Chain A
Amino acid sequence: MKTGSVTVGIPRGLIFYDHGRYWESFFKRLGIKTIVSQKTNSFILNDGVVCCTNETCLPVKVFHGHILSLTDVADYIFVPRYLSVSGRELCCPKLCGLADMIKYNIEKQVKTIEININTRHLKKDTCQSIRQAAETLGINYHKMLSVFKDTIVQNVSFGAPYHANHVSGNTGRPIVVLGHSYMIYDEYLSMGLIQKLKNKGFSVFTPANLNGYIKKMNAEPFVDKFFFNTGLENLGAAFTYMNLSGISGVIYLSPFACGVDSLTLEFIERKLFKKGIPFLKLTVDEHTGEAGFDTRLEAFLDMIV
């Protein structure tokens, strides 16, 4: 297949909110057209819910919906397999098995481009998957590998500079929103949480506003130990913000039955309680109504004002 004539679809879900821009530039530099699925909406959610086993968590269901929405417009769909992004960080099992789940859950034949991200055994795992992807797309393997090193490896690994593009910049009272990036930045899943807070005059801070290294040094009790990367991120962010003066409250947005959150939430809740910082735990799933969500949020905000 000639380069330039293929389109690769990038689903707007899961790791897209962290590393999507790197992947876009990765494909761009290889001369491949990319198309990012539209923002999450009720159709995407419903499509995803229908094809998954019912215990799958909400973001993964939504990711399936994004893939379905791309099947007609893209030749290949990009599904990364994140196993570990740096030495002692592991990814959620669902990210490891994502490509397999998609294969079985979506009955329509989906042609996927899989690339493994595994910094713990970088050479074998990653190179093999890149070789396969290069073959599928008809690109020289060495070229792909060097572009991969330039665009991805530097940016996803340990201590990478995080972009603070979600700081509101105004001078309102500071409030911290924690959660997986694919929950808090997805406007549909988070029901516009960040925007709602901004409208109420708060300055919103998220884990993305902190340097990765600082977060990792503060992620008690897992500093220098093995843990899930999203967990480290939230633990680190919570305990860094906790020690700054003037934080008026912390909100944690979690999808129902998230395994990683069940651990991190408990640590954060206990520490913040001891510190006397108001903390709101918001759990959402596909049945959550916006009215109830807003009531909980408003009650919390009234309390901390």
Chain B
Amino acid sequence: MNITFPHMGNTYIPAKVLLDFIGVDYIIPPLCNKKTLETGVKISPECICLPFKTIIANLVNGLEAGADTILFGGGCGQCRLGYYGALINEILSDMGYKFKYLEIDFGRMSFGDIIKEIKTVADIPAIRIFTGICLALRTVFLIDSLYKKAGHCRCRELGRGATDAVMREFKKNVLSVKGFAEVKRLIKKTFKELEKIKLDETAKPKKIAVIGEIFIACEPFVNLEIEQKLGTMGVEVHNHLSISEWIHEHFILNLIPFKVNTRAQIAAREFLKAEDVGGHGVETVGNSVLRGKDKFDGIIHIYPFTCMPEIVAQSAFKEIQKKYGVPIMSLVIDELTGEAGYITRLEAFVDMI
């Protein structure tokens, strides 16, 4: 058995840790690039959202490289993500690929269900899978704290580009290390290197929050490296849409027997009466309210073209801007988004605030 999985930001690192630990062969498809997107656009429905297009292209790359099992983290509800699985199955089968499909739905599945699902393809002791998942979760949190640190350094560094150089090195090396211990060591090492970067301690960078759809906010290729771009403009970027937040929200809070609302969901009640509009619609409104209250200098709302929940959320922005006095800019991303126009808009927004 040979597993492949799609990319979403840096999820490939925890996935690698998990699969290394339980001793399953896997193929990591090449990180998203122009070619990936082209492949995806060719075989996807026209109006589906952008995440689908890159996900299916990743899987095609993986299957081409010899994988025979697909591991995919689905969801459910009013967002199309929950139905990707069925469509991916249909399209890839039509293309003549033969594969087994493993869907892990963090929102609805408990630890036991996930272990059972993995057991259908490989006979691995449950305790090993359990430990593997725990290590993978630990990795997620470590990596997100590393990226947070990088964001902190990038907008304050004295020599432009120092942080990016360190992070590039990390991205290159992380693919070659094996196992949780080594990944952890590499993260620690990179952390130290980031600390060595000379920072301008007096700098008071502008604070901009990135909100919106999680896939777009996490995947640097798709969002045209928004964090890096803003960082080099000397802006401190607060991206709360990270995998660790998502896991915390959908998996850890789900282990509690009663329903717990996150801060964002509670904050959103002021503007949205609907409890759920699918995806991150409610969270987007809630987060923009919270950032408004925290006196951020600006908010960038980023989502894929035709994303249904975000369009609903967008309607409330006019009121939020008025009430909290925080400027919000919506950026819609699709496969035709040009980098030059994108930079111009970011620059104009930063200049304005």
Which A residues form the contact surface with B (CB < 8 A)?
52-53, 55-57, 81, 83, 90-94, 96-97, 99-101, 104-105, 114, 221-222, 225-228, 256-259, 261-263, 265-267, 270
CB distance from B48 to the nearest CB of A (A): 4
Q: Please give the distance in Å from A57's CB to the nearest CB on chain B.
A: 8
- Please pick, from A57, A104, A227, A267, the residue contacting B316 in the complex, using a CB distance under 8 A: A104
A92 with B78, Cβ < 8 A, contacts A221-B89, A262-B48, A270-B94 known: yes
Task: A266 to B83: give the CA distance in the assembly, Å.
Answer: 12
Rounded to whole angstroms, the CA-CA distance of A91 and B318 in the bound complex is: 25
- In the assembled complex, the CB of A230 is this many whole angstroms from the nearest CB of chain B, namely 12
Q: Of the candidates A100, A104, A256, which one forms a contact with B274 in the assembled complex, judged by CB atoms under 8 Å apart?
A: A100
CA distance A261 to B171 in the complex (A): 38
Are A81 and B274 interface neighbours, CB within 8 A? yes
Which residues on the B side are within 8 Å of A222 (C-beta)? 83, 86
Beta-carbon contact of A100 and B46 below 8 Å? no
Give chain A nearest CB distance to B215 CB in angstroms: 15
Question: B311–A56 contact, CB under 8 A?
Answer: yes
What separation, in Å, do the CA atoms of A257 and B306 have in the docked complex? 6
Residues in B neighbouring A221, C-beta threshold 8 A: 86, 89-90
Interface size of B by CB at 8 A reads: 41
Complex: how many Å from CA A93 to CA B272? 12
Query: What is the CA–CA distance of A234 and B86 in the complex, to the nearest angstrom?
Result: 16
Write the B316-342 contact mask toward A (1 if CB under 8 angstroms, else 0).
Answer: 101100000000000010000000000
Known: A100-B271, A263-B83. A53 touches B45 (CB 8 A): no
Q: Are A262 and B316 in contact (CB-based, < 8 A)?
A: no
How near does chain B come to A13, taking the closest CB pair, in angstroms? Answer: 16
Partner of A263, one of B80, B311, B319: B80
Q: How far is the CA of A212 from the CA of B105 in the complex (A)?
A: 29
B65-73, B111-119, B143-151, B275-283 - the one binding chain A: B275-283
Tell whether B315 is near chain A: CB-to-CB under 8 Å: yes
B47 near A258: Cβ-Cβ < 8 Å: yes
Is B46 a contact of A262 with CB atoms below 8 Å? yes
The verdict on B77 contacting chain A, using a C-beta distance below 8 Å, is yes
Q: Taking the complex as formed, is B353 at the interface, i.e. its CB lies under 8 A from any CB of chain A?
A: no
A210 CA / B142 CA spacing, docked (Å): 54
User: In the complex, what distance in Å separates the CA atom of A226 from the CA atom of B85?
Assistant: 12
> Does B76 sit within 8 A of A, measured CB to CB?
yes
Q: Answer yes or no: B23 CB below 8 A from chain A CBs.
A: no
Which residues of A lie under 8 Å from residue B153 when comparing CB positions? none
CA distance A91 to B77 in the complex (A): 9
Closest to B108 in A: A226
- In the bound complex, residues from chain B placing their C-beta under 8 Å from that of A259 are 47, 49, 80, 306-308
| Closest CB in chain A relative to B72 CB, distance in Å | 15
A96 pairs with B315, CB closer than 8 A: no
Task: A91-B78, A226-B77, A266-B45 given; name 8 further pairs at CB < 8 Å.
Answer: A56-B315, A83-B274, A92-B308, A96-B276, A100-B316, A228-B78, A262-B80, A263-B45
Q: Is B346 an interface residue (CB 8 A)?
A: no
Within 8 Å of chain A (Cβ to Cβ): is B273? yes
The interface centre, meaning the residue of B49, B82, B94, B306 with most chain A CB atoms within 10 A of its CB, is B306
Interface-central residue, B79, B91, B279, B316, by most chain A CB under 10 Å:
B316
Neighbour of A93 across the interface among B82, B312, B319, CB < 8 A = B312
B12 contacts partner chain A, Cβ-Cβ < 8 Å: no
Interface flags for B85-98 (1: CB within 8 Å of A; 0: not) read: 01101110010000
CA distance A221 to B91 in the complex (A): 13
A256 to B279, CA, bound (A): 21
Closest to B332 in A: A55
CB of B296 within 8 A of chain A? Answer: no
Q: Are B278 and A53 in contact (CB under 8 A)?
A: no
Residues of B within 8 A of A266 (CB): 45, 48, 87, 90-91
Please give, as numbers and ranges, the residues of chain B lying within 8 Å of A261 by CB-CB distance: 47
A85–B45 alpha-carbon span in the complex (Å)? 27
Give Cα distance in the complex from A257 to B87, angstroms: 17
CB <8 Å contact, B274 and A96 = yes
Give B272's nearest chain A residue, CB to CB: A100
Nearest 7 pairs between A and B by C-beta? A97-B312, A262-B47, A266-B45, A259-B308, A93-B278, A101-B315, A93-B308
